[in-house]
Amino acid sequence: MYTSRISGLGHFVPDNIVTNDDLSKLMDTNDEWIQERTGIKERRWIEQGSPETSASMGAKAAKIAIEKAGIDKNEIDFIIFATLSPDMYFPGCGVQIQDMLGLPTVGALDVRNQCSGFVYALSVADQFIKTGMYQNILVIGSEFHSGGLDVTTRGRGVSVIFGDGAGAAILTRSDDPERGILSTHLHSEGKHARELTVESPSIAHWVPEILNNPDDLSYYPYMNGTFVFKNAVVRFSEVIMEGLQTNGLSPTDIDMLIPHQANLRISQFVQKKFSLRDDQVYNNIQKYGNTTAASIIIALTEAHEKGKVTNGDLIVLAAFGSGFTWGSVIIRW
Ligand code: UT7
C-alpha cells in the first residue's frame, strides 16, 4: 500500500469584497448581529456580470496547486471536483476543469457533499492513490454561492453567511508510511436532508411548477440554523476523536486543526472542547464567510502559506454540513 501526501496547494477568491455594512443596504441586518452570531466581517462575492464561475475559480486555484506541486499538468491522473454550486445542472465541473486546463482525457468525478465535499473528495482521492491506481490526483473545492442567494430580508438567516471562492490540492503517491494522509472518516445521516437544502429545481420539482407558483421559493437555500448548529458541534467533536483514536493519538497530539468554516462559534466550541490554543486552530471565516466545499482547502492553503503547517505536524481537517454529512482527515505533514 502507498500513502498519499499533499504536494501542492492553491486558492483563488474573487476581488469583490462585500462587508456586513454592504449587506445591511440590501436587507435588514447589521454588522453587530453578523459578527456576534457568525464571526464574519466580510466575504467575497463574484461581481454581477463577471464571467467567473465555480469551474473557472477552481481552474485558477488548480493552476497554482499544480505549479506548487512541481508537476506537469500531463502527470495528473484524475480530477475530483467538490461543489454544491456547479456551473451546469449536468455535466459536473470536473469535466470543465479537464477542458479548461487542457489536461489529458483523464477521469473526472464530481462530489456533491456540500460542506463536507472537500473531506469526501480527499478521502476518495486517497483510496485511489493508496491502492496504486493513480499517482497524482487534482482535488478541487469551489463555490459560487452569491448568484443563488436570497439577498432580501427574507433570506438574511442564510445569505449573510455564504461566500465565493475556490481551493485546490494535488495529492501525490508516496512510499513513506509515516507521512501523508493517515486516515479519513466519513459519515452521513440523510433523515436531516431537508434541514439544510436547496430543494429545486430537481427532477421531482421541475421549472414549470416553480414558475407557476410565485410563492415557491424552493430554489433558494433553506437552513434550520439552530438545529444545524447543535448537530455540528456534536459531529465535529465525534469525528475528530474517531480520527485521532484510529491512529492511537489524542487531542494533545494536534498541531493544527482546520475546521470547515461554518461559523466561528462552532470552531471556538470545538477548540475549547479539545483544549486547543488559538494558534492550533486556523480560522478565516472572518474574511471569506462560509465557502462550503472550498472552505477547508482555502484555509489549509493559507495556513500553509503562513508557515502554520510544517513538516512533521499533525493536521486535522474536519467538516460538517448539509446531508447531513460529516468527516475528518488526519494528516502527518
Ligand atoms: O456550513 C454548513 C453548516 N452550517 C452551519 O453549521 C450553520 C449553523 N448555524 C448557524 O451558524 C446559526 O444558526 C446562524 C448564524 C445561521 C443563525 O444564528 P442563530 O444564533 O441560530 O440565530 P437564529 O436563527 O436563532 O435567529 C435569531 C434572531 C431571529 O430573530 P427573532 O426571531 O429572535 O426576532 C432572526 O430572525 O436573529 C434574526 N436574524 C437576523 N438578524 C439580523 C436571522 N438572521 C439575521 C441577520 N441579521 N442576518
Q: For position 90, what pLDDT does the model report?
A: 96
pLDDT on residue 214: 93
Alpha-carbon span 48 to 44, nearest angstrom: 12
Q: What is the pLDDT of residue 29?
A: 98
- What gap in Å lies between CA 296 and CA 306, rounded to an integer? 15
**Averaged over 76-86, what is the pLDDT?**
98
Confidence of residue 109 (pLDDT cuts 50, 70, 90): very high
**Could you tell me if 208 and 107 are in contact, meaning their C-beta atoms sit under 8 angstroms apart?**
no
Model confidence at 235, pLDDT cuts 50, 70, 90, reads very high
pLDDT, position 35: 98
Please name the amino acid found at residue 21. D
The residue-averaged pLDDT of 153-161 equals: 98
C-alpha 153/C-alpha 164 separation (Å) is 20
Q: How far is the CA of 157 from the centre of ligand 1 (A)?
A: 5
Residue whose CA lies nearest to ligand 1 atom number 17: 225
- The dihedral through the CA atoms of 265, 266, 268, 269 has a sign that is positive
What DSSP character marks residue 106?
A: -
Predicted pLDDT at 224: 98
Percent of the chain with pLDDT over 90: 100
What's the pLDDT score for residue 217? Answer: 95
What secondary structure does DSSP assign to 242-297, as a single string? Answer: HHHHHTT--GGG-SEEEE--S-HHHHHHHHHHTT--GGGB---HHHH-B-GGGHHH
DSSP run (H or E) holding 76: none
Report the nearest-CA residue for atom 8 of ligand 1. Answer: 229
Active site residues: 115, 260, 290
Closest C-alpha to ligand 1, atom 27: 157
What pLDDT does 292 receive? 98
Q: Residue 6: which of 225, 255, 293, 310 has the closest Cα?
A: 310
Cα–Cα distance measured from residue 245 to residue 255, given in angstroms and rounded to the nearest whole number: 16
What mean pLDDT is reported for the chain? Answer: 98
For the chain, the first-to-last Cα distance in angstroms comes to 18
3-state SS, residue 323:
coil
pLDDT confidence tier of residue 249, bands split at 50, 70 and 90:
very high
Ligand 1 binding pocket (C-beta < 6 A) is 29, 33-34, 37-38, 115, 156-157, 160-161, 225-226, 228-229, 232, 262-263, 266, 290, 321
Q: What is the per-residue pLDDT across 268-308, written as a single tens digit (0 to 9) for each? A: 999 999 999 999 999 999 999 999 999 999 999 999 999 99
For the chain, which domains are there? 3-174 (3.40.47.10), 180-332 (3.40.47.10)
Q: Residue written as cell 505533514?
A: 333
